[in-house]
Chains A and B, each alone.
Chain A
Amino acid sequence: MKKFFCVLLAGLLLTVPLCGCAANETADGRTVVHFLNWGDYIDPTVIPLFEEENPDIKINITTVPSNEEMYVIATTEGTQIDIIVPSEYMIQRLMLEDRLAELDHSKMENYKYVEDFVKTCTYDPTGQYSVPYTWGTFGLLYNIEMTGEEIDSWDALFDPKYENQILMYDSIRDSVGLALIELGYSINTKNQQELDEAAELLIEQKPLVLAYGTDDLRMTMINGSAALAPLYAGDAAYCMMDNPDLRYVIPREGANIFVDGMCILNTTDVYDAALRFIDFMMRPDIAALNAEYNCYSTPEDAALELVDPELLENTAFNPPKEDTENCEYYEHLEKNILRMYEDAWMKVKIA
């Protein structure tokens, strides 16, 4: 139901830019920059701070719940959106479709803080079209009281001794992906055989699984009703703050790593103002504010020095660097390939 309303809302939002109601300038002559963001993904004090320092710019935030909807809104003819923060596979798609404006690094004072991280971003290794805003992994959250031992492998999710203590994430690429990793394949495979094996593995796992879910898994893990769940690091960090028995690990077989990057659409009329805002968002004190607010890791080492030390100790928020080396980004997949993933997950869900 919630999802339904999100779609409805997205549809309504979509019509707003089409009406041309949102202009590039406010009545008092300020330049308006339209920022399409995820819900609850920016510290609420950041925008007022920016507007205070830049009195000639007004930031207008709209939120969406998924990359796919972000894509639809950002690419609809006549869109007023200037800045978006899609995930890496969507950035890749937007780059392929030539919809992003090149970022002028010489005008961005704070670019130097993300420079090192950008080199690891295989989808845009020169930061030409995007600068990382947050990053995280899709790893394993477990309750050490219930497992009785430390866990460092996806194997645990398929271990019969944890029958009815395992939660699974109900999403296509994440779940099929972790089965692919467990089998030693790439999470971007285009091989039907490998996907069939992954589906089989997940069907075999089904009797062990207590429940499939998404956001509701957090609650189940916090109140200790299940021992293991694959989760996004940000969600995991949130759970760990509420239940000290919970541990987060990037399994040794590897995991998915994701980056949400800030991009400017090439349809923008306010490129300079948008660039100034992105630059502001990269300033270490601002990046630290946002990281503390949304619990997702920041790509800036300089910002890490400023966040709450307690958060730094959280392995979901700040995992050991060497653990992430084994991780893989999602690649944008063509529709017919995606279909193979969908069918694999469908088979699992119906079985």
Chain B
Amino acid sequence: MKQVIRTLRPGEEMRHLELLNKCFGWWGGVDRWNRKYKEPGFDITRNVFVVEINGEWAGGRTLWFREAVLKNGARVLVSIAGDAYVLPEHRGKGIYSTLVRAFKKISKERGAVFNISFNAPLSVPGKALPKYGFVPLFVPSAILILNPSRYLNVTLNALEGSLIGREFEGLRLRIMVYSRDGVKISRSFLVKGGSLKSTREEPPYNVCVICSLEAFFRIYEFMVTKNRRLLALLIGDLLLGRLKVRLDMRAITAVVSWLWRR
């Protein structure tokens, strides 16, 4: 298996965009491409990289360079890596690792002090990058929900398919989230094949979670950051009744077994 990294050639832009959309589901259209790939000083023949396996296009990644300003006003060059993709048929062959290592080397050769990558919290790079010397810095954000009923419906529906340990196989879970305006939305799930599947099954449930919208957000944030401040806030939510968790014996056994494995 011969792996080669090369830069994008003029005329290959649309093929690259097509592959981004294939691998990301929907990455974006020409407008997004133009903003990201036609910014001042950006050169596709120097900054967009393609990995080929035995001469076949297998993946790609892009490097942007920016000047970062330090607290004393001095400027240093940093590189930002993004838009990494590996075609489905070539996944598991170490292409992403090759790209990450190569990008650190290329960035250093071009004078960058840091290599930065912006990722979604539960994405694959989000889990893989710490193995290559990358330190996570969580980006603070805030949301104001103007339509709680629609927001909760969409968010709880999005839990479908979430990966959960095999220890929880067969468990029935019910989540109910309520907002200050009196909106209550609940969903029932069954753990099947290691992931959550929506179900209409009636009680009894093995796990029952009732929480306020605020506590729901804190659970999600804690799952991502493992922050101690959030843990303290969640304990506060439990004590104040904003978060109620009921587990039956089968669920307790699954949790203990999961903790033991970790």
Q: Tell whether A pairs with B.
A: no
Interface residues of A (CB under 8 A from B): none
